């Protein structure tokens, strides 16, 4: 008896190799979830809304196995993961956690009494000392706008509010004087 290998396309994402004996009893409509097992690699697509797919790919790459592959599409901000179902489920949890992080907010602080050029450097140093340098999501970026004599703060709302508490103390008549920070 000669056994001929046939390939049955179950969906656009799964290909299952079957021999001739196994193909006799297969119906024309197949439920992918019932026919594939945990030892068959699958492909999953993740469309990211808040984060860059290339950055997320670099973060999850160490979490996938040697045989698994992950690629990102820049224009569509999509990650494609080819792995075992258990790995896909774990990576999906990680991606959901990353995507659920609060987005950055922007606040503009206008100074009435003090020129921004006199205190910008001090506020930048203050921001760097208040928030961990190595954790980018915790940092508050400080941008000066000399034309409007204001600061633009970009970061998480909670951290910006903490920094704002100290910044408001600096808008005093007669220039910059130092204040102690708790």
With 0-12 CB in 10 A as exposed, 13-18 as middle and 19+ as buried, what is 78?
Answer: middle
Residue 175 lies in a domain: no
The answer to whether residues 107 and 161 touch, using CB atoms and an 8 Å cutoff, is no
CB atoms within 10 A of CB 130: 15
20: left (phi over 0), alpha (psi -120 to 50) or beta: alpha
pLDDT in tens, 154-179: 988 889 999 998 888 887 765 544 44
74 and 133 share one domain: no
* DSSP assignment letter at 104: P
Q: Are strands 141-145 and 150-155 parallel, antiparallel or unpaired?
A: antiparallel
pLDDT in tens, 44-99: 999 988 888 999 999 899 988 888 999 999 888 999 999 999 999 999 999 998 88
Q: Hey, is 74 helix, strand or coil?
A: coil
10 and 88 share one domain: yes
Residue 160 lies in a domain: yes
The answer to whether residues 157 and 101 touch, using CB atoms and an 8 Å cutoff, is no
Backbone angles phi, psi at 95, to 5 degrees: -65, -40
Give the chain's domain count: 2
Residue 182 lies in a domain: no
- Enclosing domain of residue 45: 5-26+38-99
Q: Is the pTM of this model over 0.85?
A: no
């Amino acid at each position: 008896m000669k056994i001929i290998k046939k390939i049955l396309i179950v969906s656009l994402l799964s290909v299952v190799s079957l021999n001739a004996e196994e193909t006799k009893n297969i119906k024309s409509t197949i439920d992918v979830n019932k026919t594939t097992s945990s030892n068959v690699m699958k492909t999953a697509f993740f469309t990211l809304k808040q984060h860059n797919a290339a950055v997320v790919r670099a973060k999850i790459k160490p979490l996938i196995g040697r045989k698994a592959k992950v690629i990102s599409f820049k224009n569509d901000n999509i990650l494609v993961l080819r792995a075992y179902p258990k790995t896909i489920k774990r990576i999906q949890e990680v991606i959901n956690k990353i995507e659920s992080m609060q987005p950055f907010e922007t606040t503009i602080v206008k100074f009435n009494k003090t020129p921004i050029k006199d205190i910008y450097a001090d506020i930048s140093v203050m921001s760097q000392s208040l928030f961990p340098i190595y954790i980018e999501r915790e940092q508050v970026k400080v941008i000066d706008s000399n034309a409007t004599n204001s600061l633009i703060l970009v970061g998480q709302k909670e951290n910006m509010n903490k920094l704002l508490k100290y910044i408001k103390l600096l808008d005093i008549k007669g220039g910059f004087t130092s204040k102690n920070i708790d």
